């Protein structure tokens, strides 16, 4: 009998592990000494903790966990390298479940997609260039799996003047770059922006953000460092309505327990030892790494966005009942449309997974065309789902008074009386549901749903470029010519 060592952290152990770090964090212009218990930051930490909760829940055994191909041990699926088509499908299913549970971004997908992309590209680099990056990566991966770490995947640079390449910028630091190569490692300088869960992670995995030429080779760099490494500075991104978290008014937040997080990470001459470097100057592999990561991350949106969409659709259905409009045919039709759009997103995530393939490293990769179709739908459908939810909710969505008004001894009775919907529904329930819809459509939660759906994993145009590249138009043209009688079907001619 083989004894399998379990390496899973609990949610409590995860939160405690964050307390051991010493991060240089800034929020609202002030340094934050204790990010773990800060009221603005803590809900985003709770979202990551949910990934540990499901991994320890017997109900999700085999979905939220996997067996490491390196050690044979049971690991959190968020540290797993996809070994077959089933793994790719389980990824999307797990992401949907976590979207349903948190109603926001749970922040581990970017790091997960980074690990899988590096497992493919470092192998291909070694095969072509004779480097040893793949072995380095696997040693690092084993460390991540054994310690059940959260990794922040850091790809997006500030970019400066978008018409210029990295090496052409007036300020050379507008793309992260290697500024020194030493016997024991490298020194890097620059920044990564829009970094999901940066403060809530244990490690930061850096990747280049675009195709590179030889003049840009200093910018073709990939590595991993602990997120409390000297020289790392975190600047917290503002979110709409974020100061509500400081007011201590629970249901005005809409989703009081969970939240998303985006930060700017500054790399102020950060040292990286060679054993943590996975690319350094191999500029011809910058684009393959970007392309591979992007396809994985566009697949991810088929899961997480459909899961959060489930929450918003449920909220819209509830508010229709509370308003007394649930029986109207127009409301039913809107809910059908919302579900149609949401399930289309999910279907694309499952489709690009089902059509995946095995790469030379042994890692399974998604169908790139369908992954881009998935994300391109996400740049549109959540906006329409949100519009319909706002339509169903009514104007009170943006005019409702605060929870403090409801509980005020003098005016609370008027709020209770005049903002009631159907008689059997407490006014508080109606206001809570409205705040949840507000959260997802325009407030704190929109960073993990509506707004983030546009540019997360690449802008709509980046998907359109990839769709144009991946679609075989000549094949489609030939099909039409055969049916129109312009060309002969070569296969039929051979059979004759």
Cβ atoms of 114 and 297 closer than 8 Å: no
pLDDT at 452: 87
pLDDT at 3: 45
CATH code matching the domain that covers 303-473, chosen among 3.40.50.720, 3.40.50.20, 3.40.640.10, 1.20.140.10: 1.20.140.10
Distance CA 385, CA 337 (A): 8
pLDDT at 285: 98
**pLDDT of 172-213, one tens digit each?**
999 999 999 999 999 999 999 999 999 999 999 999 999 999
Q: Indicate where the chain has its CATH 2.40.110.10 domain(s).
A: 11-287
Over 60: is that where the pLDDT of 492 sits?
no
Give catalytic residue positions. Answer: 105, 109, 196, 262, 297, 301, 304, 452
Q: What per-residue string of b and e applies to 410-433 under the rule 16 or more CB within 10 Å gives b?
A: eebeebbeebebeeebebbbbbbb
- Tokens at 483, concatenated: 């049916």
Over 60: is that where the pLDDT of 2 sits?
no
Over 90: is that where the pLDDT of 433 sits?
yes
Q: Topology of domain 11-287, per CATH? A: Butyryl-CoA Dehydrogenase, subunit A; domain 2 (2.40.110)
Q: Give every CB contact of residue 464 below 8 A, 6+ residues apart in sequence.
A: 376
**pLDDT of 78-101, one tens digit each?**
999 999 999 999 999 999 999 999
Q: Per-residue confidence at 448, pLDDT binned at 50, 70, 90?
A: confident
3-state secondary structure of 302: helix
Mean pLDDT of the residues in the chain: 96
Cβ neighbour number for residue 71 with a 10 Å cutoff: 15
Over 60: is that where the pLDDT of 488 sits?
yes
Please report how many Cα atoms fall inside a 13 Å half-sphere around the Cα of residue 43, on the Cβ side. 27
From residue 416, alpha-carbon distances to 109, 324, 334, 410, 438 in Å are 42, 17, 29, 11, 20
What pTM value is reported for the model?
0.96
Over 60: is that where the pLDDT of 1 sits?
no
Over 50: is that where the pLDDT of 13 sits?
yes
- Percent of the chain as helix, strand, coil, to the nearest 5: 55, 15, 30
| Percentage of the chain modeled with pLDDT above 90 | 94
Distance CA 77, CA 75 (A): 6
**pLDDT of 352-397, one tens digit each?**
999 999 999 999 999 999 999 999 999 999 999 999 999 999 999 9
**pLDDT of 247-263, one tens digit each?**
989 999 999 999 999 99
Distance CA 220, CA 188 (A): 11
Q: What per-residue string of b and e applies to 363-393 under the rule 16 or more CB within 10 Å gives b?
A: bbbbbbbbbbbbbbbbbebbbebbebbbebb
3-state secondary structure of 268: strand
pLDDT at 7: 81
* Biggest alpha carbon–alpha carbon distance for the chain: 91
From residue 329, alpha-carbon distances to 325, 332, 336, 343, 388 in Å are 9, 5, 10, 21, 14
Q: Per-residue confidence at 489, pLDDT binned at 50, 70, 90?
A: confident
Cβ atoms of 299 and 90 closer than 8 Å: no
Q: Indicate where the chain has its CATH 1.20.140.10 domain(s).
A: 303-473
Tokens 């503002």 map to which residue? 238
Over 70: is that where the pLDDT of 493 sits?
no
């Amino acid at each position: 009998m083989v004894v399998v060592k379990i390496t899973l952290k609990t949610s409590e152990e995860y939160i405690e592990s964050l307390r051991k770090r010493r991060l240089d964090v800034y929020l609202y212009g002030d340094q934050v000494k204790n990010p773990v218990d800060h009221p603005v930051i803590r809900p985003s930490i709770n979202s990551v903790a949910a990934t540990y909760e499901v991994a320890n829940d017997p109900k999700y055994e085999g979905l939220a966990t996997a067996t490491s191909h390196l050690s044979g041990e049971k690991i959190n699926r968020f540290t797993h390298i996809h070994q077959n088509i089933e793994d790719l499908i389980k990824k999307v299913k797990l992401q949907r479940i976590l979207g349903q549970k948190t109603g926001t971004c749970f922040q581990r997908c970017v790091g997960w997609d980074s690990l899988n992309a590096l497992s493919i590209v470092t192998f291909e680099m070694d095969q072509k260039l004779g480097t040893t990056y793949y072995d380095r990566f696997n040693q690092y991966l084993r460390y991540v799996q054994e310690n059940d770490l959260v990794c922040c995947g850091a790809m997006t640079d500030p970019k400066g003047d978008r018409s210029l390449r990295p090496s052409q910028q007036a300020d050379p630091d507008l793309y992260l770059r290697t500024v020194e190569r030493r016997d024991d490692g490298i020194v890097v300088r620059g920044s990564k922006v829009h970094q999901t869960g940066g403060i809530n992670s244990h490690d930061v995995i850096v990747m280049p953000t675009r195709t590179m030429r030889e003049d840009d080779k200093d910018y073709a760099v990939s590595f991993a460092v602990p997120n409390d490494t000297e020289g790392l500075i975190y600047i917290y991104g503002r979110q709409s309505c974020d100061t509500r978290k400081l007011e201590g008014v629970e249901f005005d937040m809409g989703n009081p327990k969970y939240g998303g997080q985006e930060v700017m990470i500054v790399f102020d001459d950060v040292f990286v030892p060679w054993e943590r470097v996975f690319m350094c100057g191999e500029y011809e592999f910058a684009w393959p790494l970007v392309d591979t990561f992007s396809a994985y991350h566009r697949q991810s949106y088929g899961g997480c966005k459909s899961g959060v969409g489930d929450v918003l659709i449920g909220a819209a259905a509830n508010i229709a009942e509370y308003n007394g409009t649930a029986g109207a045919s127009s409301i039913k039709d809107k809910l059908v449309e919302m579900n149609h759009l949401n399930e289309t997103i999910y279907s694309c995530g499952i489709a690009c997974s089902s059509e995946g393939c095995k790469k030379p490293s042994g890692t399974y990769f998604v169908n790139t065309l369908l992954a881009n179709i998935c994300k391109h739908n996400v740049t549109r459908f959540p906006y329409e789902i949100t519009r319909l939810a706002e339509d169903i909710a009514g104007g009170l969505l943006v005019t409702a008074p605060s929870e403090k008004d409801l509980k005020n001894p003098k005016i609370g009775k008027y709020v209770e009386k005049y903002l009631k919907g159907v008689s059997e529904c407490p006014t508080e329930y109606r206001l809570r549901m409205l705040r949840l819809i507000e959260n997802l459509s325009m407030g704190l939660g929109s960073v993990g749903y509506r707004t983030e759906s546009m540019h997360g994993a690449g802008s709509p145009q980046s998907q359109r470029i990839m769709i144009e590249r991946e679609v075989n138009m000549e094949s489609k043209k030939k099909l039409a010519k055969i049916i129109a009688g312009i060309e002969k079907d070569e296969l039929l001619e051979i059979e004759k």
